[in-house]
Copies of this chain bind each other. A is one copy, B any other.
Amino acid sequence: MHTAAVVGTGLIGTSIALALSARGVTTHLLDRDPDRVRIAVARGAGTPGPPPEPVDIAVIAVPPWRTARALAEHQRAGLARVYTDVASVKALPHAECLALGCDTTTLVGGHPLAGRERSGPLAARADLFQDHHWVLTPTPDTTEAALNRALELVSLCGAVPALLEPPDHDRAVALVSHLPHLMATLTAGRLREGEEYAVRLAGRGMRDATRVASGDAALWADILAANATALAPLLTELRADLAAAAEALSQLSTAATDPAATAEALADLTALLQRGVEGRARITPPYNDPASRPHTMLSVALGDHDRPLSRLLDDVDEARLELDDVDLAGLAPHRPDRRGAGSAADSVGLKVAPGVARPLTEALRDRGWAVR
């Protein structure tokens, strides 16, 4: 890939252009708003205006409801040999493209799953897509050459490609993006009339749970509307869960005269919450997140030290390496901190992330501990 065009120099378009320009691709920047192009150009994202001849790939990075028209328009004008877009919903824009008579052989729908709270070209970053998923939705019409060009684009942006049928993509984002957005936003909406003393108690939990609710309301209404069909069954299920939770809480809030009914309501509520714990556990941690790696258990013999457990934990503290857990199973229960002398067989387990196992072992051996 030698040449590219980015239509729409907002956060996503300019970030793609920055990534491509950094890899030596000559990138042409187009936008209705000349100020946005000027900022993108000034940031090194590419050159302003249309290319002198068709580029290898054009990225249509405009809002979802303008995607199909922009694609049709630029295809007719011969902007590129291959076209992709970044709309967060795929089935509807694809149907619109067909209706507008687009050439679907050179078309590969796309959706990079990355973003920031800030928008516009100034917030763009060349590494915005690094290690993020980027869905491509080729159709049976799409040529292999077009798909490979789109895969090259994803690769140059450092993202992880995922090929999906448009309806599967739309069901997936309904589940992992649109449903949580709607729920977080409705939850945040309850703050609007909250008492001042109540709102001021909102801490990190509330901030994180409702962070996405800051998103532009009109933009998100359009996104949710464009994906209403995929969202509908999820909303129905969630409303049923919410009704069940409300029913259980109603039983639990009344002056309980029937212990069996109360116990059943608590069990129902616990089961509902447990489903959430299990669903949450399915989310893959980000790449390179230490939490995603399995754990290692180090066994440390406590030997004949005075107050060995205190000294061991002090030494771990000094090594500035984080423990996930301590397993005291190997410690004799009748000697709480082994203040006196003890059997050399006594030991404790230290549960650590694998990256921590080696430096912690070395640090503890330096301090005289026998570590296995």
Contact = CB atoms under 8 A, between A and B. Distances in A.
A149 interface: no
Interface string A87-121: 00000000000000000000000000111001010
Nearest to A204: B286
A189 interface: yes
Given A238-B190, A276-B186, A269 B224 contact: yes
Which of A34, A48, A186 neighbours the largest number of chain B CB atoms within 10 Å of its CB?
A: A186
A66 to B, nearest CB: 16
Nearest to A171: B198
Given A43-B313, A217-B271, A232-B253, 17 more contacts: A38-B337, A41-B310, A48-B336, A113-B201, A122-B325, A133-B201, A175-B191, A176-B199, A177-B201, A179-B190, A180-B206, A189-B275, A189-B276, A190-B237, A213-B280, A228-B250, A228-B252
Interface of A: 34-35, 37-39, 41-44, 48, 113-115, 118, 120, 122, 132-133, 135, 162, 164, 168, 171-173, 175-177, 179-192, 194-195, 197-218, 220-222, 224-225, 228-229, 231-232, 234-239, 241-243, 245-246, 249-250, 252-253, 265-266, 269-284, 286, 309-310, 312-314, 317, 323-326, 328, 333, 336-337
22 contacts: A38-B328, A38-B337, A113-B201, A115-B205, A118-B324, A120-B325, A132-B203, A162-B200, A164-B197, A172-B201, A176-B191, A176-B198, A180-B206, A185-B277, A186-B245, A189-B241, A189-B276, A194-B282, A210-B279, A214-B277, A221-B273, A239-B246
